[in-house]
Amino acid sequence: MGRLSALFDPDTVAVVGATDREGAVGRAILENLQNGFDGEVVPINPSRETVLGLECYDDVASAPSVELAVIAVPPDIVLESIRNLAEAGTENVVVITAGFSETGSEGAERERQLRDLAAEHDLNIVGPNSLGIMSTPNGMNASFGPERPLEGSISFMSQSGAFITAVLDWATEQGIGFQDVVSLGNKAVLDETDFVREWGTDPETDVVIGYLEDVDDGQAFIEDTRTVTRETPIVLVKSGRTDAGAKAASSHTGAIAGSERAYEAGLEQAGVLRARSVQELFDYARALSGLPEPDTDGVAVVTNAGGPGVLTTDAVGDSCLEIADFTDETIAALTEAMPDEANVYNPIDAIGDADVDRFGEALEIALADPNVGSAVVVSAPTAVLSYDDLADTVIEKRETHETPVVTCLMGGQRARDAEKRLREAGIPNYFDPARAVSGLDALARFREIRERTIDEPETFDVDRERARRILARAERRDNNRLGVESMDLLEAYGIPTPAGEIVDDPARAREVAAEIDGDVVMKIVSPEISHKSDIGGVKVGVATDDVYDAYEDIVARARNYQPDATIVGVQIQELVDLEAATETIVGMNRDPQFGPLLLFGLGGIFVEIIEDTSVRIAPIGEREARGMVDEIQAAPLLRGARGREPADVDGVVETIQRLSQLVTDFPSILELDINPLVAGPDGVQAIDLRLTVDTDELDTEDL
């Protein structure tokens, strides 16, 4: 696949299926291109001599060299058109035509062929079922959508064409400009990850925004995006957040819903700022595209209006920022400069009779404070204050201090001119104090993302071949499930398990128990019996002398409960002291988009009732594994709350990392639960295990 930049900056664009028939898509695209594109536009249509006054070509072979082709022909001749383009040397294609995978099996087959064609000829294909693409620097609107937006530094992708149409008209009214815009359509070839990669290296793009209904390849997305977000902020609306929304998304674009928790984790690990609404998307984008990064989290609030000042302060309290603690010098300077009735502590209330000079002075003093990393100027309209002058003052102060400043000049018509001036200087103005602060919050959250180190997974020394052999046991099971009898899988990956083994006669049971210090736990091992305790299949704290009888009793109960069950034997296990320990759960299930989703939580009620769990997409390194432990509500219990001895948190973190390595090494493991993983002061031990193996996948796994 060639560089995508040619998609957005071609010298020549062909419209395949160009026509001057009113209302036709092929006409709309041509008109949009004629309206401002600074390159050459080539209509292609065998049944026309000219279209809209331009010379029309029968086919691409007869046309001048074409760098980008936009295809708007019936679905059954799309593939042929693309083949012709490829043969004529055109590498960049936008397929507007619908009637592919979104319409059923025939369309899906057509889309598969289109994908093959792209691979064969190394083509960049956008769509099919796309509204088109736009780029403002060269004036190109290669879409049948709305008018070209204003020029700006935001690049924008959307899985919904209507979303682009809906947003651009509004954005123009708001003075928000764009660099490139792409309607992703069915994403047969190029998807979100490709455009993230492209815009990540585009010096003209300051912010990438997008509307997505799914992510095609979650692993590739995380891998590439987390590199891009070290430089370029990405803000996405990922819809289908709720069950109802996911259902609607799947009927809209046929998106296969991964779980919302997987998206949440995956987007977070990728360094994406996630917006929950269209408004939030643009509130974040406006701040990120025009303002420098804050040095510290302290915010100064400068206002002439007490109430709105308090609202702003509340919004700061809701954000990841904090109200800056002014230095004594700042307080002294403000006391000197402001009238007696003013509040010189943050928020600075310059009171209702503040004019532009007093506002400017307060802002100047605040921005000079080393504890101030950003500022919000909040104003109610008054007779003594010109919003236009205030805008100019804020612009000047912001530039002098290289500090991000947002404004909230409250008011209707009277704020419009000032808003425009501010916008042109890259300062977003918001009517609502809460939204102004959310803009600064986005800047601070992006700084945190940039400062992250890439969380490289550690590669532990493990016995992969042994694990492979253990997993292969699942092939002899009807349900592809493995249980406690396969604890040696964990041993192979260095996850501690209690001493013991599975035995199949009572005398051997006694021998094994004798080798273990103290009493033992005995559990029936049978793939068909999952609720072992309920049928009397578990005995805890059995003394060596009682092991023989206990063995016979357990087996008898199991046979009695389910006569046809396969009895593998009885597990004899070291009795782990649960008194001083905490039961945790470490698990994994595979998400259709993102792959292995790791889960951590405390056992029992915490997972089942409080639903206090954390998740990550594997593979992860130590930072994310530690994050999983830290972010559960009950984390203090592990760290020794309420007079308990702290558990071996490092051991838990390492176990999560080793499990990450295991499930990454073996895509055949569909789901796996270590429940419980007991975490005591001196270490962790996996007490029980269940997993499901895809045996077909297993056969393809090369070691």
Smaller CB separation from its own copies, 317 or 518:
317
> How far is Cα 409 from Cα 531, in angstroms, rounded to an integer?
64
Q: How far is the CB of 678 from its own copies (least distance, A)?
A: 18
What is the chain's alpha carbon radius of gyration, rounded to the nearest angstrom? 32
Closest CA to 628 of 644, 642, 617: 617
CA angle 327, 330, 335 (to 5 degrees): 130
Q: What are the angstrom distances between the C-alpha of 465 and each of 222, 469, 470, 665?
A: 29, 6, 9, 11
Nearer to its own copies, 10 or 309 (CB): 309
For the bound state, the minimum distance from the C-beta of residue 94 to its own copies, rounded and expressed in Å, comes to 17
For the bound state, the minimum distance from the C-beta of residue 76 to its own copies, rounded and expressed in Å, comes to 17
The minimum distance between CB 157 and its own copies, in angstroms, equals 12
Measured between alpha carbons, how far is 5 from 546 in angstroms, rounded to an integer?
76
What is the residue type of 505?
A: D
Which one, 127 or 433, has the nearer CB to its own copies? 433
CB of 433 to its own copies, least distance (A): 7
Considering the complex, state which of residue 323 and residue 670 has its C-beta at the smaller distance from its own copies: 323
Closest separation between CB of residue 248 and its own copies, Å?
4
CA dihedral 439, 444, 447, 451 (to 10 degrees): -160
Nearer to its own copies, 90 or 346 (CB): 346
Return the number of the residue (23 or 563) whose C-beta is nearest its own copies.
23
The one-letter amino acid code at 433 reads P
* Beta-bridge partner residues of 478: none
For residue 70 the two structure tokens come to: 């936009």
State the residue for tokens 């199949």: 504
Nearest to its own copies of 431, 476 (CB atom): 431
Q: Which amino acid is it at 444?
A: A
Sequence letter at residue 22 = E
Cα–Cα distance for residue pair 426/358, rounded to 1 Å: 23
Nearer to its own copies, 356 or 495 (CB): 356
Q: Which amino acid is at 670?
A: L
Q: How far is the CB of 557 from its own copies (least distance, A)?
A: 19
Q: Which residue has the tokens 């064969």?
A: 120
Residue 518 beta carbon to its own copies: minimum distance, rounded to whole angstroms: 25
Classify 445 in phi/psi space as left (phi over 0), alpha (psi -120 to 50) or beta: alpha
Show Cβ contacts of residue 77 under 8 Å, excluding neighbours closer than 6 positions.
Answer: none
- At residue 410, the 3 state secondary structure works out as coil
Compare residues 81 and 160 and give the one whose CB is closer to its own copies: 160
Smallest gap from residue 216 Cβ to its own copies (A)? 17
Single-letter amino acid code for the residue at 131: L
Show the tokens assigned to 572: 């004899």
**Closer to its own copies at the Cβ: 12 or 165?**
165
CB of 359 to its own copies, least distance (A): 14
- Are the C-beta atoms of residues 212 and 260 closer than 8 Å to each other? no
